Amino acid sequence: MRFVALAVLPLIAAALPAQAQENPAAPNLITQGSYEAAEARLMRELRVHPDRPELLLNLAAVYARTGRADAARSLYTRVLSQDDVLMDLTSDRTAGSHMIASAGLTRLQPVQFTAR
């Protein structure tokens, strides 16, 4: 099974908004910085499709961008507990849901600096 995803940022930039097949509105809202509206839309869609990786990844992106790292981490981990799903990022670029979730988790890790 393949899902369509929209790469708003380079893959390594983590927490990519992933486009749900039926409705690209949530990724567009995330791109515009309308996190509250994106979250509301994603929550409605998740009630119908609770395990869709693109919905979980989008919601994790919203949580990460609104300072809710623990909630984002939980969703990224949930995606990793499911089967890896190949997602179309652009018309000629794909990535697995696990790769996207792993990149998101990496971005959530605190950076530690040491003095010399």
Other beta carbons within 10 angstroms of residue 73's beta carbon come to: 18
% of the chain with per-residue pLDDT over 70 = 74
Residue 109 pLDDT grade (very low, low, confident, very high; cuts 50, 70, 90) = confident
Query: What domains are there in the chain, each with its CATH number?
Result: 3-108 (1.25.40)
pLDDT in tens, 20-60: 445 568 888 998 999 999 999 999 999 999 999 999 999 99
The structure tokens 């959530």 sit at 108
Q: Give the mean pLDDT of 80-84.
A: 98
The pLDDT mean for the chain works out to 81
Contact (CB, 8 A) for 66 and 54 = no
Asked if pLDDT for residue 68 goes beyond 90, the answer is: yes
Q: Among 10, 8, 80, 13, which residue's Cα sits nearest to residue 38? A: 8
% of the chain with per-residue pLDDT over 90 = 61
CA distances 56 to 34, 92, 111, Å, are: 17, 23, 25
pTM: 0.76
Q: Which helix (H) or strand (E) holds 93?
A: strand 93-96
